[in-house]
Amino acid sequence: MADESISRRGLFMKLGILFNGLVATALAVPIVGFVLSSITRGRSNAYLAWVPLGPVNQFPEGETRLATFKNPNVMPTDGKTVDTSCWVRRVEGDQFQVFAINCAHLGCPVRWFPQSGLFMCPCHGGAYYRDGSRASGPPERGLFEYPHKVENGLITIQAGELPTPGASAALIGKKLPCA
């Protein structure tokens, strides 16, 4: 009887360990996948693509204009959300700045006011100078910029993910040598 009790206890112990192991594995797989995806995502540029904004003569020197492009990192079901806006500032000649439309605070779309020479955020009053640097309000930094290049009279930006204050923003804000 004692032997049978011990063996039954041992069996339940082994079943318990097996069950805990299965639960731990089931929980660990998505967590490990999430952690690894953030690492591999930072190394891969597969989701980034160069997309055209239009001929440079659409953007007069000294002015800032709104432009839209199709986000290359979308699903077929995304519909109109693939259309993304950005602010294009043509400083002079082929010298441009292309700003994300999203405020660097919490992402509300900023508007350009040529009269005051400021980008203004309607959500919490954030303001940015014409060169995208922070002027006032809660944002801790200037507007995010897209890497861009001018080739054959066409301005093109590197797009594919929304700028955020995370690591991806560092990528978006990084200027390329050709910019």
Q: Is the distance from CB of 109 to CB of 100 less than 8 angstroms?
A: no
Figure out which of the listed residues 64, 100, 126, 163 binds ligand FES, where binding follows CB under 6 A.
126
165 in contact with ligand FES (CB under 6 A): no
3-state helix, strand, coil in the chain (%, to 5): 35, 30, 35
At residue 116, what is the residue type? S
Which residue lies nearer to ligand FES by CB, 150 or 162?
Answer: 162
Where does this chain touch ligand FES (CB under 6 A) — which range of 8-16, 47-55, 73-81, 119-127? 119-127
Window 133 to 162, contacts with ligand FES (CB under 6 A)? 137-139
Tell me the helices (H) and strands (E) count for the chain, helix number first: 2, 10
Figure out which of the listed residues 106, 154, 167, 178 binds ligand FES, where binding follows CB under 6 A.
106
* Distance, CA of 118 to CA of 89 (rounded, Å): 12
Which of 164, 151, 126, 129 has its CA nearest to residue 54?
151
Least distance CB 32 / ligand FES (angstroms): 34
Which residue lies nearer to ligand FES by CB, 53 or 101?
Answer: 101
Contacts to ligand FES by CB under 6 A: 103, 105-106, 108, 121, 123-124, 126, 137-139
